Amino acid sequence: MKINDGFPLLMGFFIGIIIFYLFGKKFILRKYIQLLKKAHIQAKHIINKTGKECDLFKKKKIIQIKKKLSELKSKHDKEIEIKERRIINIEKNIKKKEDRLSKEIEIYFKKNHRLESQIYVYEKNKKNIQKRQKELKKMYFKQVELLEKISRYSSEEAKKQLIEIFQEEAKKKAQSSIQNIIEEIQLTAKEKAQKIIIQSIQRIGTEKAVENAVSTFSIESDDIKGRIIGREGRNIRALEKATGVEIIVDDTPDTVLLSCFNPIRREIARLSLQKLVIDGRIHPARIEEVVKKTEEQIEAEIMNIGKKNILDLGIHGMHPELIKNIGKMKYRFSYGQNLLEHSREVSHLSSILASELGLNIKYAKRAGLLHDIGKVSENESENPHAILGMQIAEKYGENVYVCNAIGSHHDEIEMKSLISPIIQISDSISGARPGVRKNSFESYLKRLKNLEDIAHSFEGVNKAFAMQAGRELRVIVESEKINDQKTLELSYDITERIKNEMTYPGQIKVTVIREIRAVQIAK
């Protein structure tokens, strides 16, 4: 096939393309114009619709605004009405006050007028009085001159003599009155003090159960004793190392002895040993674990005991370390008397005495509870327990009066308030009552007998009686052998012998009685 044969076909193809382009362009333009017209119509429709909605929204908003305006207007009108009423009331009150003031002014002017008339009368009377005084003065001087002539004494000498006479009489009367007052005060004060102390003791004087420190641990059999000792004594060494308590296992049947000066550590050892025996697993690792848990348990128990006691006594705002030391008192003993029970008793007694004397009860309670706090201190110190307790109380922010009462309850320092002697008295009462401290009945009787024997050892003593649980010694002497002067000497000598030869809490009063009897029989 030749190239010239295909040319017409090619030309026809191009011509067709040109014709399609021309006619297609017109068709597309027509379609585009139609779409524009439709879009224009739709836009108009949307604009019309939006305009209607805007008008409707505008009308709604106008209605809402009018409604709001009417509400505000009514509210404003009400407020204006209330204010107008207030203004009217204020005006009424002002008017009333104006009326009252006008009346008061009127009354004042009337009174003022009366006062002016009274002043005039007063001035007139004053002049008359002054005139009369001058006349009396002249008469007085005339009488003095006449008396001087008659008595031959000048007025100054007469005055001096009179003053000396009156002073002498006044001194005598004053001395007599002062002596009577002193005797009455001494008698009344003594009776009042005795009454207060007796009432305090009666209110707190119940028997207190004396606890004993546990120093033995009971076991069921010797087999358990062997398990406690362990192989080559390793268990008992581990227990002693962990607790700091010496554990004595001897031939005593069913008993293990726990020896330690610290009762808290001894209690930890006892509880730990009890837990180990119940559990059955006794070896060094288990011993350390049980001892640690027991220490935590005792620490928590000590804190709870301290909190419970301060709440029972109504004491607040105390430092946690002081509360902890109070809890430790449960495990301490003084002469066999539980330190916590003793401190509670002193606190009760102090509060009673303070209330009777009108002093601060809160300070008395705190000082009474803390007075022996130095006995539970773990710090080594050469100071007495009272000074150590005062230093601890000062460290944890206690009041100066409380600290002074703690430090001075055994006279280590000077007392600076009335709370201090109250604590000292309460401590003596609590510690000296029979049966409170762990003294056997035989030793108590022996002390009383020793008192009487000391009195009988002196010449001229007829009878001697130890009274008031050994707090007083009454000595009756033979009046023929002992005179009044020797009675005073005898009381002093007996007191010195008691101080040097006996040990006793508190104080002992020695009363020497010399009696003369004249007996005749009428027949």
pLDDT in tens, 318-329: 888 888 888 888
pLDDT in tens, 55-101: 888 888 888 888 888 888 888 888 888 888 888 888 888 888 888 88
Q: Which of 43-47, 312-316, 450-454 is least confident? A: 43-47
The count of other CB atoms within 10 Å of the CB of residue 171 is 10
* pLDDT value at 416 more than 80: yes
Mean pLDDT score, 432-443 = 55
CA distances from 243 to 226, 227, 250 (A): 19, 18, 20
* pLDDT value at 271 more than 60: yes
**Predicted local distance difference test score (pLDDT) of residue 152:** 61
**Predicted local distance difference test score (pLDDT) of residue 335:** 65
pLDDT in tens, 348-403: 888 888 888 888 888 888 988 888 888 887 776 677 888 888 988 888 888 898 99
The count of other CB atoms within 10 Å of the CB of residue 210 is 15
DSSP 125-175: HHHHHHHHHHHHHHHHHHHHHHHHHHH---HHHHHHHHHHHHHHHHHHHHH
Classified as helix, coil or strand, 465 is: strand
Mean pLDDT score, 146-166 = 67
CA distances from 59 to 53, 62, 63, 73 (A): 10, 5, 6, 21
Interacting residues of 184 by C-beta distance below 8 A, sequence separation 6+: none
Classified as helix, coil or strand, 244 is: coil
Tell me if 484 sits within 8 A of 514, measured CB to CB. yes
**In terms of pLDDT, which residue wins out, 219 or 485?**
485
Beta bridge partners of 511: 474
| CA-based radius of gyration for the chain | 55
**Predicted local distance difference test score (pLDDT) of residue 99:** 84
Average pLDDT, the chain: 77
Q: How many CA atoms lie within 13 A of 78 on its CB side?
A: 5
Mean pLDDT score, 295-319 = 87
Helices of type H across 283-329:
284-312, 320-328
* pLDDT value at 53 more than 70: yes
**Predicted local distance difference test score (pLDDT) of residue 70:** 83
Angle subtended by helix axes 419-432 and 361-370, to nearest 10: 50
**Predicted local distance difference test score (pLDDT) of residue 222:** 67
The count of other CB atoms within 10 Å of the CB of residue 130 is 10
Mean pLDDT score, 135-156 = 70
Percent of the chain at pLDDT exceeding 70: 77
Mean pLDDT score, 330-350 = 82
**Predicted local distance difference test score (pLDDT) of residue 34:** 79
